[in-house]
Amino acid sequence: MTYARIIVDIAHSQVDRLFDYCLPESLLSLTPGTRVEVPFGRSVTEGFIMELSDTTDVPAQKLKSVRRALEERPALLPQLVETAQWMRRQYHCLLVDALRCMVPAEMRGERVREKQIKQAYLAVSPEEAGAAMAALKRAPRQSAALNALLAHPDGIPVCELSAQSGATAAALKELEKKGYLRLEEMRLNRRPAAAKGVIRDEAFSPSDDQRTAIKAVNAAMEQEQPKPFLIHGVTGCGKTEVYMQCAAQALARGRGVMILVPEIALTPQMVQRFTARFGDEAAVLHSRLSAGERYDEWCRIRSGQARVVVGARSAVFAPLAHIGLVVIDEEHEQSYRSEHAPRYDAIEVAAHRCAQENAVLVLASATPSVERYWRANMGEYTLLSMPRRIGSAVLPFVHVVDMRRELKEGNRGVLSRPLVENLETCLSRGEQAILLLNRRGHSSFVSCRECGEVIRCDLCDVSMTYHKAGNMLRCHYCHEEKPVPTVCPYCGSPYIRYFGDGTQKLQEELAQRFPHVSVSRMDADTTAGKDSHLQILERFRRGEDRILVGTQMIAKGLDFPNVTLVGIIAVDSMLFLPDYRSAERAFQLMEQVAGRAGRGSKPGRVVLQTYSPDHFAVKCAQSHDYQAFFDQEITQRRATQYPPFGRILRAVVSSEDEDEAREDAQEIYRRLTREMQDAPDMEASVLFFDVTPAPVARLRAQFRYQVVLKVRADENARKMEDLLFNAMRDLAGSSHAVLETDPSAML
Ligand code: ADP
Ligand code: ZN
Ligand code: ZN
């Protein structure tokens, strides 16, 4: 008898283990990684076969049988089954949560299907068809259909055949009956809009920097367990071209390629570049695809039709076999880490998959994360430098404007005078501008002039954001909305006012100053629609819009040669966030968005408006000096023992009942204290250890407490993480506890 060990597709810690089932005769060919339907309790559920075995400890009368397979070919490659098991250990997540990452959500519960179309073929030789056409003079539609079939030797979808020839269904049926036409059911691949109708291109002849990088990566592809690379390349140095040429090399060796980019950088432009180079060999995976598109792209990868995967974070789980190369573009981006269960880091998962297959991992950025640049300095990665832009393009000149002075001299607007002047020049030359504003909405928040209270969300302990459209307040954490109150809910005063400058306000100021210039806006509000992102960018590319205003979204990867001016409106607010990476993130954003200017033959210019012109992150961005920024930042990290020198571990405990949240957090703290007393050598690694209310003490109607640890980044760090995780289990109360490591924002 063969038994299948199965993980049921139910996310609950109590069923997070293997269940044994009998494998009936008809299903003996199934292998691990296949999804099946099984009886479970009183119902039927889906599950993943993890192992096969000849034995079981389950008594025969209790054993149930697998009912059917949900697919012919296992959804999961063996490497991904192993990766899921590794994720459970690495991220303390449920195995099923890890497995769920690896199949398109729509496949579960069979909510998506293949799309079939009827394809028509000529069933006779062209000569016979010609003779038939002559004989069919009395049936012009049939004759026209034959003519169209002659023009499409590889077949043509029936609907197109009718449209082209005017042949009715009856006419086609007649042709089929006579044996001239053959119909076949064919699977239609739903491709993402950006990948359709792209014209193929050829590789560029590489620059010296590019050639060095390509050579190094190719050489590594021959090695066993190759050392990863960190490419530090300024914006516009031609990194993408390097990825594409290395990818071509991997394909030539018969190996698969994965290119990961941040979700918001996965622009239609990026997709088009890869499609132009690799045609249907490229597949795209990201969250804005329709269910059908995502499923079809996934199937093309699984079947081996597409061997170059371009995708966002979750594409790291693509069913790509025999990987040779994984590229992580903009490796410094926070979005590679998942913020909800399973809380994985796509770069770590990528490294794991590379190790499984002796594949080369390439991390790249114009502004590498401080932690990885430090590790490259320590010899963990091979550092490749690409300090020059392609061709004659140079890095843009950065003009820093002190906004305090602007205010002193009477300018209360969002736009500084130098920015207005530069915009005038830019527009008068027929060029285009991009303006970055690090917030969205019209005004950030609404407050009372008498008591100073800010209008907060009823469910969360955070201020709500004003949105001019609909005159609404919205909570960006729970999406709760309410109308702007006419009197202060705290003191009853009628003097309510709006604070802060948002994209909408900026847009209004631009409309006032440049009434004849068309401005478009790109932020989370305007890109909610499926292809709205593509449409906004296409309008801008065609020059219909002269100014593009947006949030972080516009900072990444856009390549418009006619953009010569970039305005950075308000990044200062980022410098002072309660996050040890705030300076790093502000520097990265300034540098990235500056990189959008002057990418063509015309030189670019950046106007950086700031209230803190003396901050080192601003100064380094002004001189495009990553090294200087890194040196100063790493000195501070060492002094404060923040990553990479220390690690932050945080347990967030939340509950609707405040007492329960507090008591459970205190219980975690007590358990961990006891554990540490038993291991005195661990204690020496602890730099900070406390239990307090979380900075956002209430979120989505849940009260929140936290246990925070800062530990040295030594051998004990991992053990400490495991101890904390153990201390969080089986809490007495009904609260929910989540473990975060090096969280980017301590809400
Ligand atoms: P990055 O990804 O580093 O920002 P890109 O790969 O987008 O840079 O390259 C910038 C521009 O230079 C693109 O328009 C690209 O087509 C072009 N380019 C890249 N490599 C070459 C080359 N070797 N010769 C000519 N043009 C190139
Ligand atoms: Zn809220
Ligand atoms: Zn008030």
Q: What's the pLDDT tens digit per position in 85-112? A: 999 999 999 999 999 999 988 877 766 6
In a domain, 188, yes or no: no
Higher-confidence residue: 527 or 521?
A: 521
Please say which residue of 481, 497, 513 terminates a domain. 497
Q: What is the whole-number distance in angstroms between the Cα of residue 536 and the centre of ligand 1?
A: 23
Q: What is the whole-number distance in angstroms between the Cα of residue 91 and the centre of ligand 2?
A: 28
Q: What is the whole-number distance in angstroms between the Cα of residue 273 and the centre of ligand 1?
A: 11
Residues 616 and 686 in one domain: no
Nearest CA-CA partner of 265 in 552, 594, 598: 552
pLDDT bucket at 530, cuts 50 / 70 / 90: low
In a domain, 632, yes or no: yes
Q: What is the whole-number distance in angstroms between the Cα of residue 482 and the centre of ligand 3?
A: 17
CATH assignment at residue 22? 3.40.1440.60
Percent of the chain's residues with pLDDT above 70: 96
pLDDT value, residue 163: 83
125 sits in the region (left: phi over 0; alpha: psi -120 to 50; else beta) called beta
pLDDT value, residue 618: 93
CA–CA dist 466, 474 (Å, integer): 6
For the ranges 112-121, 607-616, 698-707, which has the lowest average pLDDT?
A: 112-121
User: What integer is the mean pLDDT of 266-274?
Assistant: 84
Nearest-atom number in ligand 1 for the CA of 237 is 3
Which three-class secondary structure state does DSSP give residue 363?
strand
User: What integer is the mean pLDDT of 157-185?
Assistant: 84
pLDDT bucket at 498, cuts 50 / 70 / 90: low
In a domain, 171, yes or no: no
Higher-confidence residue: 264 or 418?
A: 418
Q: Is the pLDDT of residue 556 over 70?
A: no
588 close to ligand 1 (CB < 6 Angstrom):
no
pLDDT value, residue 578: 63
Please say which residue of 92, 108, 124 terminates a domain. 108
Torsion of CA 214, 220, 225, 229, to 10 degrees: -40
pLDDT value, residue 328: 97
For the ranges 130-139, 238-247, 291-300, which has the lowest average pLDDT?
A: 130-139
Nearest-atom number in ligand 1 for the CA of 242 is 6
122 burial type by CB count under 10 A (0-12 exposed, 13-18 middle, 19+ buried): buried
Q: What is the whole-number distance in angstroms between the Cα of residue 480 and the centre of ligand 2?
A: 6
R_g (Cα) of the chain, nearest Å: 30
Residues 556 and 410 in one domain: yes
Residues 520 and 597 in one domain: yes
204 close to ligand 1 (CB < 6 Angstrom):
yes
CA–CA dist 389, 433 (Å, integer): 20
Handedness of CA 614, 618, 624, 627 (dihedral sign): positive
Residues 605 and 507 in one domain: yes
Q: Is the pLDDT of residue 488 over 90?
A: no
Dihedrals phi, psi of 250, to nearest 5 degrees: -65, -45
Q: What is the whole-number distance in angstroms between the Cα of residue 448 and the centre of ligand 2?
A: 19
Q: Is the pLDDT of residue 198 over 50?
A: yes
Question: What would the two tokens of residue 9 be?
Answer: 């597709």
In a domain, 588, yes or no: yes
Are 459 and 592 in contact, with CB atoms under 8 Å apart? no
Which three-class secondary structure state does DSSP give residue 45?
strand
CA–CA dist 409, 139 (Å, integer): 84
pLDDT value, residue 404: 83
Q: What is the whole-number distance in angstroms between the Cα of residue 475 and the centre of ligand 2?
A: 5
Residues 549 and 525 in one domain: yes
Q: What is the whole-number distance in angstroms between the Cα of residue 555 and the centre of ligand 1?
A: 17
CATH assignment at residue 721? 3.30.70.600
| 168 secondary structure, DSSP code | -
Nearest-atom number in ligand 1 for the CA of 206 is 23
Nearest-atom number in ligand 1 for the CA of 234 is 3
Higher-confidence residue: 520 or 278?
A: 278
237 close to ligand 1 (CB < 6 Angstrom):
yes
Query: What residue type is assigned to position 623 of the chain?
Result: S
- Locate tokens 């020839």: which residue? 165
pLDDT value, residue 50: 95
Residues 543 and 464 in one domain: no
Task: Indicate which ligand has the atom closest to the C-alpha of 456.
Answer: 2
Q: Is the pLDDT of residue 527 over 90?
A: no
Q: What is the whole-number distance in angstroms between the Cα of residue 677 and the centre of ligand 2?
A: 40
Q: Is the pLDDT of residue 376 over 90?
A: yes
- pLDDT tens for 402-457 read 988 888 888 878 899 999 999 999 999 999 999 988 764 445 677 777 777 778 88
210 close to ligand 1 (CB < 6 Angstrom):
yes
In a domain, 22, yes or no: yes
CA–CA dist 24, 8 (Å, integer): 18
pLDDT bucket at 57, cuts 50 / 70 / 90: very high
Q: Is the pLDDT of residue 669 over 90?
A: yes
Q: Is the pLDDT of residue 268 over 50?
A: yes
List of residues 6+ apart from 123 with CB closer than 8 A = 179, 180, 181, 182
- Locate tokens 């003009």: which residue? 399
- pLDDT tens for 673-693 read 998 888 878 888 888 899 989
Residues whose beta carbons lie less than 5 angstroms from ion ligand 3: 448, 450-451, 453, 488, 490-491, 493
- Please calculate the CA angle 658-661-667 and round it to the nearest 5 degrees: 140
pLDDT value, residue 260: 96
239 close to ligand 1 (CB < 6 Angstrom):
yes
Higher-confidence residue: 146 or 95?
A: 95
In a domain, 166, yes or no: no
Nearest CA-CA partner of 446 in 456, 437, 460: 456
pLDDT value, residue 442: 44
Nearest-atom number in ligand 1 for the CA of 389 is 10
Using most ligand atoms within 8 A of CB, pick from 204, 210, 241 the residue to mutate for ligand 1: 241
For the ranges 305-309, 595-599, 629-633, 640-644, which has the lowest average pLDDT?
A: 595-599
Q: What is the whole-number distance in angstroms between the Cα of residue 450 and the centre of ligand 2?
A: 24
Biggest alpha carbon–alpha carbon distance for the chain: 98
278 C-beta neighbours (distance < 10 Å), count:
20
**Crossing angle for the helix pair 169-178 and 158-165, nearest 10 degrees?**
110
Using most ligand atoms within 8 A of CB, pick from 559, 591, 593, 601 the residue to mutate for ligand 1: 559
In a domain, 184, yes or no: no
Which amino acid residue places its CA nearest to atom 18 of ligand 1? 238
Which three-class secondary structure state does DSSP give residue 123?
coil
pLDDT value, residue 561: 85
236 close to ligand 1 (CB < 6 Angstrom):
yes
CATH assignment at residue 382? 3.40.50.300
Residues 342 and 216 in one domain: yes
207 close to ligand 1 (CB < 6 Angstrom):
yes
The count of structural domains within the chain is: 5
Residues 287 and 366 in one domain: yes
pLDDT value, residue 572: 67
Q: What is the whole-number distance in angstroms between the Cα of residue 454 and the centre of ligand 3?
A: 8
Which amino acid residue places its CA nearest to atom 20 of ligand 1? 238
CA–CA dist 40, 12 (Å, integer): 14
pLDDT value, residue 159: 81
Dihedrals phi, psi of 96, to nearest 5 degrees: -65, -35
Residues 289 and 365 in one domain: yes
Q: What is the whole-number distance in angstroms between the Cα of residue 465 and the centre of ligand 2?
A: 10
Residues 69 and 207 in one domain: no
Nearest-atom number in ligand 1 for the CA of 210 is 23
Nearest-atom number in ligand 1 for the CA of 205 is 23
In a domain, 168, yes or no: no
286 burial type by CB count under 10 A (0-12 exposed, 13-18 middle, 19+ buried): buried
Task: Indicate which ligand has the atom closest to the C-alpha of 391.
Answer: 1
Question: What would the two tokens of residue 641 be?
Answer: 């023992």
Which three-class secondary structure state does DSSP give residue 241?
helix
Q: Is the pLDDT of residue 543 over 70?
A: yes
Question: What would the two tokens of residue 128 be?
Answer: 């016979």
Task: Indicate which ligand has the atom closest to the C-alpha of 238.
Answer: 1
Which amino acid residue places its CA nearest to atom 13 of ligand 1? 238
Q: What is the whole-number distance in angstroms between the Cα of residue 457 and the centre of ligand 3?
A: 15
**In DSSP terms, which residues pair with 6 in a beta bridge?**
19, 49
Q: What is the whole-number distance in angstroms between the Cα of residue 239 and the centre of ligand 1?
A: 7
Residues 513 and 489 in one domain: no
pLDDT bucket at 528, cuts 50 / 70 / 90: low
User: What integer is the mean pLDDT of 11-40?
Assistant: 92
Higher-confidence residue: 12 or 452?
A: 12
pTM of the model: 0.83
pLDDT value, residue 441: 42
Which three-class secondary structure state does DSSP give residue 163?
helix
For the ranges 335-344, 576-585, 695-704, which has the lowest average pLDDT?
A: 576-585
CA–CA dist 623, 397 (Å, integer): 8
For the ranges 31-40, 196-205, 354-363, 520-529, which has the lowest average pLDDT?
A: 520-529
Q: Which domain holds residue 475?
A: 450-497
Please say which residue of 69, 92, 108 terminates a domain. 108
pLDDT value, residue 440: 46
User: What integer is the mean pLDDT of 498-525?
Assistant: 78
Task: Indicate which ligand has the atom closest to the C-alpha of 461.
Answer: 2
Residues 344 and 408 in one domain: no
Task: Indicate which ligand has the atom closest to the C-alpha of 201.
Answer: 1
For the ranges 124-138, 253-267, 334-348, 422-436, which has the lowest average pLDDT?
A: 124-138
Nearest-atom number in ligand 1 for the CA of 207 is 23
559 close to ligand 1 (CB < 6 Angstrom):
yes
Question: What would the two tokens of residue 726 be?
Answer: 């153990």
